[in-house]
Structure 1
Amino acid sequence: MRPMPRFLGLALITATIAAGPAWAQAPAPLAFVQPLPTTSAMAVQERLREAGAYAGVADGVWGPESQMALDRFQQARGLAVTGSINLATAQALGVSLPRLLPPPVEAVAVAPVVAAPVVQLSPRAVRNVQLRLRALGFYQSAADGVWGAGTQTALERFQRGRGLEANGQINPTTVQALGLNPSNLEMAVR
């Protein structure tokens, strides 16, 4: 098995997951690697200092000295020298994994972006698309000839319903599926 690559500059948290069923031939492990936030790196450096493996300052900057200290700690404790902080190393250091992970990111409300069709459509062409979407039960608003959020959403729902790429864009395939004339969207459907 190849050794895991070493990442300098940041301490790492890893989790290994067995790939494949237990009865299969020695499956290759999958590894999830995540950089430590500065405060977590400081906590690890402090624990390594307390264990006598690190003589540097607990400043949260993960450099070669911190990395060598982690390797020495793992070796001294009989742990696999992985160069990263896995569950066994975190437990041996007395640091809980949730403490090492970055804080959750708060959700930020973002106003929806209404994408205009790639092709510039005249108000009459937009009105025809709206009328057709309305006739097919995908659009509920008035056909005003303005490409807005309602038109965008209706077109995307229509595309999904027809098994087309739901990108909200007017293209020849979508126009044909709508039953409109791909050569002239301004021509009304009868």
Structure 2
Amino acid sequence: MNRRTAEVERYTLETQIRVQIDLDGTGKGKLRSGVPFLDHMLDQVARHGCMDLEVEAKGDLHIDAHHTVEDVGITLGQALGKALGDKRGIHRYGHAYVPLDEALSRVVIDFSGRPGLFYEVDFPRDRIGDFEVDLFVEFFRGFVNHAQATLHIDNLKGQNAHHVAETIFKAFGRAVRAAVERDARAAGVLPSTKGLL
């Protein structure tokens, strides 16, 4: 069976990004975005999504991390969409609940061909170390717009901002994994009654 892989490079005046993905990998991450906390979160996506993920980014971090975080989301969405191809034979939908101590988050994804982000997360503080938590929504917005996916992210409880972030990214990885897994009962079948995704 063919491995579902892709490599995408995206260069702008603000960022230079390369993402390589193997949806049929084992959870290995090689992450050099220049934003350490983003790398930590992407490592959760790779590990819990059971995908091999390589991200290399250079951005205008002398200004702030906004463009880098957003553009990594965009490029990851492009790479994942490319690796999925025509989406035949996948489950299409995935969801996960993930706890970490007091924190609990739910992520639901549909590789519908229609981008949409529904993000209900109230972090208990504005920063985790040097990382501005407002950037997470920019990352996921970039992802859905370019992966052509509908994504619901809900933090159900949590008092520690680091725990909240980890539950979101771990659940995102697990939801993506469930959605892109091959469906043995529908091999080669497009998971839509419309005949198009």
Superposition TM-score, scaled by structure 2 size: 0.23
Ranked by relative contact order (alpha carbons within 8 Å, sequence separation 6 or more), the top structure is: 2
Superposition TM-score, scaled by structure 1 size: 0.24
Larger Rg: 1
More strand by share: 2
